[in-house]
Chain A
């Protein structure tokens, strides 16, 4: 069982109820950012405090928990969050996507398709997709209320006029169920098609104090134009380790002479493929 100095999953019950109510309202209004009273967590803002609070509110002792950071299970952020819940909630942890019931992620969606029995929890730095276009919260709130998203299309249009294509490669804005424009967190746009999933997806922004959700099978459309359709581009290489041609790749510098290789960013997916090949 967990360390008895902590309440189950670290947070006190009153805080969990508050977060749980926000999650349920987020589920009821897909893509709408529900304000919540984000707590200080024993890690700095920017390290996934929002995701950790959502995970803490969702975890049960029977869950199997997985954490990825840019697709990898073995980076500092992923390891420390996994250890945090191992200690405070006593949950089983795994690096295998298929075995996890709750997956907390920073900036990737696993390559392995998710199932109905899984919940994907995103760590979100800036939840407001319009924030870089309009800094005032009072104004962006009004824009969401009025469904006034012209500014976002102007931004995408200016991309095309300047670069010949939409130059947004990550945190690519989407429209959820035909109503709210949503920031899918800084996942590569390669992952956008995977936002329509059998799994429930929850988004937590700790510093910005927002929770939002995409229920299973919700319609999620990446914004585009008829003559410039959305393109979930990828690097034109196979993975140098497992040979996969349909995954998102990281470019890794291998020496000081310009040597480089492209490898799967999803370490579990890549390791499993190499295991099968061996």
Chain B
């Protein structure tokens, strides 16, 4: 493990994690809204936003799947030091990190059970661009309609059809994050 794995954590964990969580909470409860999330400096290709999400939500109790796009020695070492989350396969993952392409097929991830729909995966999807345009979103958290640049539409339509089961997504790009809970109805823009 290189020494650089020890760097890039929160300087003041309770306060920075609180800020990061509020950004994630706003993003997920208002789909389409893009929030800034700062404080983390993980090794490439992991974005600062994804790093902050990992440090805010992951710990030794949350199995994490690293998709091939992010499964590097540096990322593994950084996650091990800063979160201690155990790495696992996609089927048992509570969190998953990767590009949308590398996370495919997303049908592998846990969608919870009808009695415990909360026991489902949260996907942290690294995207090249994140903008309030593209797919049209409606549903809880959205007053009339919102728009968000999504990597595709069909997968989220399938995911919504299973509601209340389904996975939830956080899209990260640089120091920004957006959320797409399973409850959102997604249509072509």
Say if the beta carbon of B118 comes within 8 Å of chain A.
yes
Partner of A217, one of B61, B116, B142, B164: B142
Within 8 A of A (CB), among B119-171: 120, 122, 139-143, 163-164, 166, 168
- How would residues 196 to 225 of chain A score, 1 for a CB under 8 Å from any chain B CB and 0 otherwise? 001010000000000001111111000000
The answer to whether A58 and B22 touch across the interface, beta carbons within 8 angstroms, is yes
Q: Whose C-beta in chain A lies nearest to the C-beta of B165?
A: A29
Contact of A21 among B57, B113, B181 (CB under 8 A): B57
Query: B62 — which chain A residues lie within 8 A by C-beta?
Result: 21
Report whether B118 and A213 are in contact in the complex, using a CB–CB cutoff of 8 Å: no
Instruction: Give the size of the chain B interface in residues (CB under 8 angstroms).
Output: 40
Judging by beta carbons under 8 Å apart, are A215 and B25 in contact? Answer: no
Tell me the complex Cα distance, A121–B120, Å.
Answer: 24
Q: How many residues on the A side are at the interface (Cβ–Cβ under 8 A)?
A: 45
Q: How far is the CB of B168 from chain A (nearest CB, A)?
A: 5
Most chain B CB within a 10 A radius of its CB, from A16, A25, A180? A25
Residues of A within 8 Å of B183, CB to CB, are: 28-30, 177, 215
Q: Is A179 close to B, CB under 8 A?
A: yes
B164's partner among A24, A29, A219 (CB-CB below 8 A) is A29
- B interface: dominant SS: loop
Looking at A13, A59, A142, which has the most chain B CB atoms within 10 Å of its CB?
A13
Contact A20 B21, CB 8 Å, known A29-B183, A217-B142: yes
Residue contact A61 to B164, C-beta cutoff 8 Å: no
Name the residue in A23, A24, A116 with the highest tally of chain B Cβ atoms < 10 Å from its Cβ.
Answer: A24
Beyond contacts A24-B28, A58-B21, A217-B143: 6 other A-B pairs, Cβ-Cβ < 8 A, are: A16-B17, A20-B21, A24-B122, A34-B118, A177-B183, A198-B143
Interface contact A7-B14, CB-CB below 8 Å: yes
Residue pairs across A and B with Cβ atoms less than 8 A apart, 5 shown, are A24-B168, A29-B118, A116-B30, A145-B114, A215-B141
**Residues from chain A with Cβ under 8 Å of B57 in the complex:** 17, 20-21, 24
**Cα distance, A100 to B118, chains bound together (Å):** 30
Contacts of B116 in A (CB 8 A): 35
